[in-house]
Structure 1
């Protein structure tokens, strides 16, 4: 039996997430992404534009899984093995790539001393 959960995504369908990645998702730092809209205030004009940084990050994680699966097959044909450590690292990076975003973070980068990428590093460390 697999250790994890299925998250139903409106774009990608059912996404299985192993417990080790759920542990990252369940942190307060990741959960705050539920309150940050990917499309800023576009939902005020387009009511269905409710895409959050949380759902975006889950989708990015899923797409990375698909990329790994694809290239694993391609690499196996030429005797190159992608190790579990590298797979897990790529999946964690995909999941956490937006962890440093705040509301309107691109707009505020012009007046802030740190970019969202810098905040991402600080939060992870």
Structure 2
């Protein structure tokens, strides 16, 4: 598989994460799914986004993993709803923008 076909290849079945803010986060791209599956990205599940705030506020449970997926979802929606199909937008930039948002 060439690099360009890898960056544009889609999953046979999209992956969906349930999220308290965005309701659902959809992952359709193979490149994004491969990044999410890495042990380095999975480690973000154990890193607290809000530091020790959970000690004072028991519902303040938010991880870097959830934060990264949330940023990814916002950028994915922006691209899909705002830029997709416009002359000024290069579709080859989509994987780069999504990876940057995720990481």
Sort the TM-score into its range (normalised by shorter chain): 0.7 to 0.9
Higher relative contact order (CA 8 A, sep 6+): 2
42, 59, 63: which one aligns with 2:53: 42
Match of 2:62 in 1: 51
| Alignment match, 1:7 | 17
Q: CA deviation at 1:64?
A: 0.3
* Larger strand fraction of residues: 2
Structure-1-length-normalised TM-score: 0.66
- Indicate yes or no: 2:101 matched with 1:94: yes
Structure 1 runs of 4+ with >4 Å offset: none
What is the number of equivalent residue pairs in this alignment? 92
Cross-structure match for 2:7: none
Q: Tell me, what secondary structure is at the counterpart of 1:84?
A: coil
Which blocks of at least 5 consecutive residues in structure 2 are unaligned? 1-10
CA deviations over 1:44-69 (Å, ceiling 9, x no partner): 11111111000000000000012213
Listed as ranges, the matches of 1:1-125 within 5 Å are 2-18=12-28, 19-72=30-83, 76=86, 80-96=87-103
The alpha-carbon deviation at position 70 of structure 1 amounts to: 3.6
Asked which structure has the greater CA Rg, the reply is: 1
Indicate the residue corresponding to 1:109 in structure 2: none
- What's the secondary structure of 1:56's corresponding residue? helix
Structure 1 unaligned blocks of 5 or more: 97-125
Q: CA RMSD in A?
A: 1.8
How far apart, in 2, do the equivalents of 1:69 and 1:81 lie? 14
